[in-house]
Chain A
């Protein structure tokens, strides 16, 4: 079992819809959770991080964490074509390096 799992996609949503990206992790000791966005040919850029159970909102983005179920999700409201990218889930386990999932490719259709 991979340490951090994501559906590779592509996840296709129409413009203006809510995109829901999910991630599960295996290490119950995981302490910090990150969502990075990566455009094709570019390096990852941080979207959000979350440490505590529940929701964290930042503009059109909401991160949700459920430690009991070992999943973290990212909701993107009012999706725009410019949101089309690969979204990487990363988990910090206290081993100092982040463990990344392989990413979910999101396509927002105009």
Chain B
């Protein structure tokens, strides 16, 4: 079946602009995660959605970052007033109910000039 998909695959933007990154989880998966991976680094947790519960936003680095998940499926991560330090690969993962394993999408490579 289809895996996690993300769009765009690459995004180049200018400092100060807003960007939106999209994630389509595996069909039927109730949990959705956003992570960030800077060059040569591990994954940094950003935000987690589980069903209709309030999202866990504890990993968001600043109030410029926000995310929503519409209809319990597709999620959008928005970064306002982008900064050069926001340049990274943004990875989305989904997980099935009752399971521990997260499956990752291909990521969006964001470059802020």
For residue B99, which residue of chain A has the nearest CB?
A: A49
Interface residues of B in 6-41 (CB under 8 A from A): 31, 33, 35, 40-41
Query: Whole-angstrom distance from the CB of B11 to the nearest CB of chain A?
Result: 16
Complex CA distance for A52 and B72, rounded to whole angstroms: 32
A102 contacts B42, C-beta separation under 8 Å = yes
Residues of B contacting A4 in the complex (Cβ-Cβ under 8 angstroms): 42
- Number of A residues near B (Cβ < 8 Å) is 23
Q: Identify whether the interface residues of B are mostly helix, strand, loop, or mixed.
A: strand
A43-B106, A102-B41, A102-B42 given; A97·B56 CB < 8 A: yes
Complex CA distance for A102 and B59, rounded to whole angstroms: 17
- Kindly list 20 other residue pairs between chains A and B, CB separation below 8 angstroms, not including A98-B33, A98-B102, A100-B44: A34-B100, A36-B104, A42-B106, A43-B105, A45-B104, A46-B101, A46-B103, A49-B101, A88-B42, A88-B43, A90-B43, A95-B56, A96-B48, A96-B50, A97-B45, A98-B45, A100-B42, A100-B43, A102-B41, A103-B42
Chain B positions within 8 Å of A, measured between CB atoms, are 31, 33, 35, 40-45, 48, 50, 56, 59, 91, 100-107
Lowest 7 A-B CB distances belong to which pairs?
A102-B42, A100-B43, A100-B42, A43-B104, A97-B45, A32-B100, A43-B107
